[in-house]
A and B are shown apart, each in its own frame.
Chain A
Amino acid sequence: MQPRHSGTSLLTQVEVKRSISALTSADWLRLHKVARALCRNAGFQADDLLQEAFQRALDGTRQCTRTLDIIPFLAGVMRSIASDWRKARKRRPEMSLVTATGGVQALVLQVRDNSCVADEVLVSNEEAARLQRAIFALFADDAVAQRLLEGIMDGLAGAQLRSLTGLSQTEFASKRRLIRRRIDKAYPRDWTP
């Protein structure tokens, strides 16, 4: 998939660009699907996330080890950026610096009125719960998929998750794919149907 050298442990920026340029259609598609999945709950666009990940890889802000393929590397970069952007969005409404006259002395600190925080928590909490109910409803015809979903959301993984459903490795992979495809179809861009 990409050039490998024994010299150093990190790909050079030229090698990173060469590796990305050589991606197949399926690889490009895979990257875009990953970006869309990460953006579903984030309030930003998949194309922006992808572009930012490419930029950080190309300018050397994020470096790829030679032992890692470029796709998992880029997926990791996107995960990290998405997490940072989500945190920034959460922080931004709470506090902002306004330069009334452009001078440092003129900085005005705007702090959000905390009295409405409890209400917002309640609304946000209810929104997440509603979304989970809607996702489970997509699998009303498939009790195994619902059990699997419950396990995934509870943080189970691997053998523990498979034992919850009694599925073999192949059946598990197949069911996980079914879950992804149904969710992709119901929520192609964000968590709005």
Chain B
Amino acid sequence: MSQKKKGQWSRLDRLTETLVDDILASSDAELLAEAAVETDDGATLARRAFERASRTVAVRRIRRDKNTPAGRRLAPADIRALDPKTARGWLDAYLASNPETAGQLRRAARRDNKLSDEDVYGMLEVLQQRGVLTAKPIEQGRR
């Protein structure tokens, strides 16, 4: 692609960025007023797109779970759905098998070395996001 062509389209890309910034900066009242004048059904279309996306993600999860042997399902997406005792048990199990990480995590926790429930949930979420949380039976420990 020549520099000239790139430049011509880049000028339009910069305009698009500015238009997006303006949409994000507009007040709710302004946007709703514009939509009323232009009979813009964007809100409905966006909601439908979200519903379709939710269904797609749910179907993918079901398929993934079906392909995972019972008893080896991954920890639920929402760690906070676990009761505090089970959550603490999961963290202890992780720390027991990863002693080098245990020291770092505990230092990051409260000074009195007692982890609050919030600390436990937070650490489990971080471990889950890093993909290092050991798979657990999904039925275990749910509220």
Residues of A at the B interface (CB closer than 8 Å) are 6-8, 10, 12-14, 17, 20-21, 24-38, 40-41, 46-47, 50-52, 54-55, 58-60, 63, 71-72, 75, 79, 121, 124-125, 128-129, 131-132, 135, 149, 152-155, 173, 176-177, 179-181, 183-185, 191
Q: Report the minimum CB–CB distance from A186 to chain B (whole Å).
A: 12
Chain A residues near B34 (CB-CB < 8 A): 181
The interface residues of chain A lying within 8 Å CB-to-CB of B93 are none
Cross-chain contact B16 with A40 (CB below 8 angstroms) = yes
CB distance from A38 to the nearest CB of B (A): 7
Q: Chain B residue with minimal CB distance to A61?
A: B57
Identify B32's interface contact among A12, A29, A72, CB under 8 A. A29
Q: Are A33 and B31 in contact (CB under 8 A)?
A: yes
Indicate whether A37 sits within 8 Å of B12 (C-beta atoms), given known contacts A54-B49, A54-B50, A181-B34. no
| Total number of residue pairs linking A and B with CB closer than 8 Å | 164
CB pair A121–B20 under 8 Å, yes or no, is no
Let me know if B134 is at the binding interface, CB within 8 A: no
A24:B46 contact, CB within 8 angstroms: no
Query: B1 near A121 (CB under 8 angstroms)?
Result: yes
Q: Which residues of A contact B32 (CB under 8 A)?
A: 25-26, 29
Q: How far is the CA of A49 from the CA of B85 in the complex (A)?
A: 42
Given A30-B26, A132-B11, 9 additional A-B pairs, CB 8 A = A7-B121, A12-B125, A13-B77, A28-B46, A29-B43, A31-B42, A121-B1, A132-B8, A183-B15
Taking the closest CB of chain B, its distance from the CB of A167, in whole angstroms, is 14
B107 at the interface (CB under 8 A from A): no
Report A130 CB to chain B, min CB distance, Å. 10
Nearest B residue to A176, CB-CB: B22
Using an 8 Å CB-CB cutoff, how does the interface string of B21-32 with A read, 1 for contact, 0 for none?
A: 011111011111
Chain B residues within an 8 Å CB radius of A191? 12
Q: Is B46 a contact of A29 with CB atoms below 8 Å?
A: yes
Tell me how far the C-beta of B137 lies from the nearest C-beta in chain A, rounded to whole angstroms.
Answer: 20
Q: Cα distance A181–B135 when bound, in Å?
A: 52
List 14 A-B residue pairs with CB atoms under 8 Å apart, sorted by A's residue number: A7-B121, A8-B126, A27-B28, A29-B42, A40-B16, A47-B48, A50-B49, A51-B52, A54-B49, A124-B8, A128-B5, A132-B12, A149-B15, A154-B11
Contacts known (A25-B32, A29-B43, A173-B25); A34 close to B53, Cβ less than 8 A: no
CA distance A58 to B50 in the complex (A): 10
- Report yes or no: B24 in contact with A30, Cβ–Cβ below 8 A: yes
Using known A-B contacts A12-B78, A14-B77, determine if residue A47 contacts B5 with beta carbons closer than 8 Å: no
Give the complex CA separation of A35 and B16 in angstroms. 11
